[in-house]
Amino acid sequence: MGNRYFEVLERASSFLEKQGKEGYSILFVFLERKGWTKTHWLLHMKEEVLPEDEQQIAEDLKKLVANYPPQYLLGYSGFYGQRFLVNEHTLIPRPETEELVERCLKENLNEHLTVVDVGTGTGVIGISLKLARPNWQVTAVDISKEALKIAQKNAKRLAVDMHFKNGNGLQPMNDTKIDILISNPPYISNDEWHLMDESVRIFEPKTALFAENDGLAIYQQLAKEAKKILKPNGKIYLEIGFQQGQAVKQLFQQTFPQKQVEVAQDLSGNDRMVIVSSKKEEG
């Protein structure tokens, strides 16, 4: 009898761990490719592995050992209950960004609001907001034409009707007044390069990761641009690097002295968001 599924995957997994990689990733990729749930796995794991499956596992293993992200291997990633196409032109969506979406939805109802998602990448933020708040008019902006192609494909697959604009920051909005600016911009400083996982450093797009001025350049740009087009009661939701809370807060507080600016933590307890909102009522 030939190799069985669980034997092949167990070997692949322990090989990855010996190389200091995440052992589970090969099983994750295999199950996703097969469309198998954990139940399917339990039913089939002792069957003899098909030659084409064994070949696919070997190919995937080679790439995982070279730090190639599982999401790029599969061509998609999960985010806020949906599946989004990803490729090397787009960042892989992170769970912390789901928390930014959650916060924005919790604080804003389904009324007619004009919302802009800057640096949309795969489109996850703008599309997730539009799915949950169909009355919002959502525009997604990205400087990368390749990223926008993926975002537009994702919107089409999820039957979402929204606008996409290619350009830098809020400039493509011209003078359209907006209710909400939301953004997960590039915010990693060049000094933090060595802190990044190798898979991120090698494979994810640099323009979506790094920013000048200690990672603050895009926030400085957005603060300046938002001042011109944010409505008086408008709000801003930003994802930030875990060391940037005070710097970004200060920047937006100076730009919007009348508004409340708050640094919020992610589920791991790291500073992860800066929220600019209308001043709370006194008393």
Residues 12 and 33 in one domain: yes
Provide the domain count of the chain: 2
Count Cβ neighbours within 10 Å for each residue of 206-239 and write b for 16 or more, e otherwise: eebbbbeebbbbbbbbbbebbeebbeeebbbbbb
> Which residue in 22, 24, 67, 20 sits closest to 9, CA to CA?
24
Whether residue 83 contacts residue 158, with contact meaning beta carbons closer than 8 Å, is answered with no
**Quick one: 56 and 156 in the same domain?**
no
pLDDT at 282: 43
- Extract the annotated binding site: 119-123, 142, 184-187
CA distance 212 to 210: 7
Question: How far is residue 73's CA from residue 60's CA, in Å, rounded to a whole number?
Answer: 7
pLDDT at site 215: 67
CA distances from 46 to 1, 29, 41, 42, 58 (A): 11, 18, 9, 8, 19
pLDDT tens for residues 88-102? Answer: 989 899 999 999 999
| Residue 148 to residue 88: CA distance in whole angstroms | 13
Based on the domain organization, do 132 and 43 belong to the same domain? Answer: no
pLDDT at residue 2 greater than cutoff 90:
no
Answer yes or no: is pLDDT of 281 > 60: no
Residues 190 and 257 in one domain: yes
pTM of the entire structure?
0.91
Question: Annotated binding site for S-adenosyl-L-methionine, which residues?
Answer: 119-123, 142, 184
| Residue 172, domain member (yes or no) | yes
**How far is it, in rounded angstroms, from Cα 158 to Cα 135?**
16
Together in a domain, 80 and 195: yes
Are both 96 and 42 inside the same structural domain?
no
Whether 27 is covered by a domain: the verdict is yes
pLDDT at 280 over 70: no
CATH number for the domain that contains residue 234: 3.40.50.150
Position 211 pLDDT exceeds 80: no
Measured CA to CA, the distance from residue 206 to residue 194 in angstroms comes to 14
Tokens describing residue 267: 């589920």
- The answer on 268 and 170 residing in a single domain is yes
* 282 located within any domain: no
Residue with tokens 């949309």: 120
Based on the fold, state whether residues 140 and 39 are members of the same structural domain: no
Task: Give CA angle at 219 (273, 133), nearest 5°.
Answer: 55
C-alpha torsion angle, residues 250, 254, 255, 261 (rounded to 10): 50
Bind-site residues for substrate: 184-187
User: For residue 268, how far is the Cα from the chain centroid?
Assistant: 17
- Bridge partners (DSSP) listed for residue 139: 116, 163
Query: pLDDT tens across 67-84, in order?
Result: 999 999 999 999 999 999
Given 28, 47, 66, which residue is the final one in a domain? Answer: 66
Is pLDDT of 192 > 80? no
User: Per residue in 164-186, pLDDT tens?
Assistant: 999 999 999 998 999 999 999 87
Instruction: Identify whether 153 is part of a domain.
Output: yes
Residues 31-48 have pLDDT tens digits of: 999 999 999 999 999 999
Q: To the nearest whole number, what is the mean pLDDT of the chain?
A: 92
- Domain that residue 24 falls in: 5-66
**How buried is residue 243: exposed, middle or buried, by Cβ count under 10 Å (0-12/13-18/19+)?**
middle
